[in-house]
Structure 1
Amino acid sequence: MKPHSLLLAPLLLALVAPTGCTSLSRMSQVAMDHSLPIGPPKDHPTEVAFSINASPTLNGNPNSLDVAADQDRALAPSPYAVTLSAGDPYALTEKIGVLFEYLQAQFPAMSPVELDEGDESDPARSPLEESGPGSYDDPQVALTLPRTTSVASALVATPIAITILQLRDDSLLRNTVYQLLEQDPAKALRSTYIRSDDYLLRPGQFKYIPFEPIHAETRFVAVIADYRGHENASWRQVLRIPPRGRQIMLSVLVNDTHIMLKEED
């Protein structure tokens, strides 16, 4: 063997060894985890992750109850009404006792007079039992109840349901109504439908959905949201994505009246 051939042999071995080790390492990883894709990155299915943010004032409910107004209407105006309040039961009992003593002093009651068995006359009773309430109206003074003012209750934010869709085409989604999608998205979208994932978001919630390969036939990703007033809200967004060779982070912003879907940088 020639001397220069002996010098080239170690060099070739040094160049081939790293490639062989890399291939063996990749093969061992695939053998341990069968979900790992085989081949160059451009041949792998596109992976998509979602970063979802919901508005803190989301889906305001205009029919929320005004508790204070209901409490004010609970007691109708009456000439005989007493309101007592205290910090503990003992203080309240003391106030009730004081009020009772005051009423007894101001309006003493007369007990029936014991009569003989032969006396058939009616027993004497308190004059308050037969008399009605006194009248203290002054014809020169007009008394009226305060005008009832209705205060609009603040909107209460409520959770919202969203659905992430994988589609072959977006034409049917862009020309349908939310009620059909809510009932059966696969039936409403027919052959363009591939997959759907449902989520329920609280007002102000952040949710992260990790990377996952899309379906081989997926060409569009869409997000729809269940707003209370669909006629006044932009409840759907669609984005076209390449089927292979990409890793895409999508940002979903669920605002009060519209939803936004865009690719993050």
Structure 2
Amino acid sequence: MSHTAHIPSHRKPRRSASKIALRAGVAGGVLSTLAVAAAAGTANAAEPVSETIEMPTLSTDLSAQIAQSADATQQAADTYESRAEQDAAASKAAKQAKEDLAKAEKKAEAERKAEAAAKKKKAEEERASRSADRTSLSTQSAGGGSTTADAPAPASGSVGAVIGFLKAQLGDAYVMGASGPNAWDCSSLVQAAFKQAGVDLPRVSQDQSTMGTEVGTSNLQVGDILYWGGKGSAYHVGVYIGNGQYLDAANPGKGVVIQDLSGYPASGAVRVL
């Protein structure tokens, strides 16, 4: 054994051939990459750099959706515009209607006033006519207190129309429940007579005795309705024609006649004209 065998050797261990080859390959690859990069850098330095960004391509569905959205927006705008026009038209129509209503109410008020004035004038004329009728039909005698039925009834006028109609029925028959033209009972004759003067009386004597104003039998005027029995329960009616006389549909034996109050005094009287 050599005397130096126990001394560690200072020589580096030998690498294997495969490791040396691997490292050589790696080194070569790195050098090649660096060479290519350097060449590319030189080329880039010689030419200007330009960058192109490719925009996304719209699909058919997306285009349709955008078009529909645009249409919807336009339709909404049209709707709002149409609604605004309608609101404006409605407001104008409401204003015009209000003005028309005010004019109509004003016109109606004027017509009501004119009608009221005409009715008032007519009523005054009728009152004057009745007064003239009574004066001509109830002329006081020189001795006073009595009246005459011989004065002719005027051709027109409320009271004159009533008396004229009654006298035209003299001699007609009395039939209970009859209403003319040739047969009457007491209340139907009175009702028909006052209808000539535009006065609508109830059909039966009980109701006729409650109409108008109660005047009693001491202050009678031509055209007053006489009744027999209680007020509201009268059983007979006739009409005062002046000179202490009245005309009525008396009974089946007499028919329509003129009678004296002295022979059959009335219970009461009402005035409707």
More strand by share: 1
Say whether the fold is shared (TM-score over 0.5).
no
Give the TM-score of the pair, scaled to structure 1: 0.22
Larger radius of gyration: 2
Give the TM-score of the pair, scaled to structure 2: 0.21
More helix by share: 2
